């Protein structure tokens, strides 16, 4: 089964509003990554947060990680129509485990930002 | 330009006809991986490679083969394609596993 599960599956907002997406996972991780995909194209890396970090910022993106709850959230502030895309979390397991080497993606959140 | 390339980008084939999808990266990355993307299922890892001659199964390896004879190339082989392998396929690479992945543009495969 998928390690990363995302919530909500779809999100529709107006330009200027904030968008929050959540990701839950099941096993110990080395890091968690967020990716963006525009309409069936290749995924683009957005931000990486390591297991010993709790919060990270990059431009209008803010990512939090709660390892005790095995969850992460991605916040996009002041959204723009150009942010319309699918967003995926991906988990990298801790080294030494049987699943080391596997990168597991969630099912994604479809974000629509209306002008 | 640093990139991951895949060929072909689109392919329509028939059941049982062997095919290979190539993947190449020019960033000297050690880690490479193949994923398939299906509606409602997100991306699922097929195979990955930690380095030359080192490959391992992902979550959905059945019906696929890979090889890693050179660091830059990681072809995906479907020996006998079936309709349930109709999907969008992505190759990705990273310097090491615990680093951001660079994705190719995708290969849309249809098996009739």
Q: Residue B46 and residue B57: Cα distance in Å, rounded?
A: 6
Ramachandran class of A3: left when φ > 0, alpha when ψ lies in -120 to 50, beta otherwise:
alpha
Tens-digit pLDDT profile for residues A2-48? 456 788 999 999 999 999 999 999 988 989 999 999 987 889 999 99
Q: How far apart are the first and last CA of chain B?
A: 36
Is residue A115 within 8 angstroms of chain B, CB to CB? Answer: no
SS3 content of chain A, % helix, strand, coil (to 5): 5, 55, 40
Q: Exposed e or buried b for every residue in B63-76, given b needs 16+ CB within 10 A?
A: ebebebeebbebbb
Contact A31 B98 (CB under 8 A): yes
Contacts of B83 (CB under 8 A, 6+ apart): B15, B111, B112
Chain B CB contacts of A42 below 8 Å: 4, 90, 103-106
Sign of the torsion formed by the C-alpha atoms of B14, B7, A86 and A102:
positive
10 Å CB burial of residue A6 (0-12, 13-18, 19+) is buried
pLDDT tens, chain B, 112 aa long: 889 999 999 999 999 999 999 999 999 999 999 999 998 888 999 999 999 999 999 999 999 999 999 999 999 999 999 999 999 999 999 987 668 899 999 999 999 9
Asked if B102 contacts B94 with a C-beta cutoff of 8 angstroms, the reply is: yes
Contact A42 B42 (CB under 8 A): no
Bond from prior residue into A8 cis (ω within 30 degrees of 0): yes
């Amino acid at each position: 089964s998928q390690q990363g599960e995302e919530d909500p599956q779809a999100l529709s907002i107006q330009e200027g509003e904030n968008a929050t997406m959540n990701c839950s996972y099941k096993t110990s991780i080395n890091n968690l990554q967020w990716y963006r995909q525009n309409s069936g194209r290749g995924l683009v890396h957005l931000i990486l947060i390591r297991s010993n970090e709790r919060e990270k910022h990059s431009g209008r993106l803010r990512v939090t990680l709660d390892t005790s709850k095995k969850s992460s959230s991605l916040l996009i502030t002041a959204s723009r129509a150009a942010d319309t895309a699918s967003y995926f979390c991906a988990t990298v397991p801790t080294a030494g485990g049987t699943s080391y080497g596997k990168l597991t993606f969630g099912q994604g959140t479809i974000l629509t930002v209306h002008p | 330009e640093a990139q991951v390339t895949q060929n072909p980008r689109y392919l329509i084939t028939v059941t049982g006809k062997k095919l290979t999808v190539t993947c190449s990266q020019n960033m000297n990355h050690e880690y490479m991986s193949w994923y398939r993307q299906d509606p409602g299922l997100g991306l699922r890892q097929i195979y990955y490679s930690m380095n030359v001659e080192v490959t391992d199964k992902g979550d959905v390896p059945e019906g696929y083969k890979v090889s890693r004879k050179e660091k830059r190339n990681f072809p995906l082989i479907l020996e006998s394609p079936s309709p349930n392998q109709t999907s969008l396929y992505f190759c990705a690479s990273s310097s090491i596993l615990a680093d951001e992945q660079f994705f190719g543009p995708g290969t849309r495969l249809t098996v009739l």
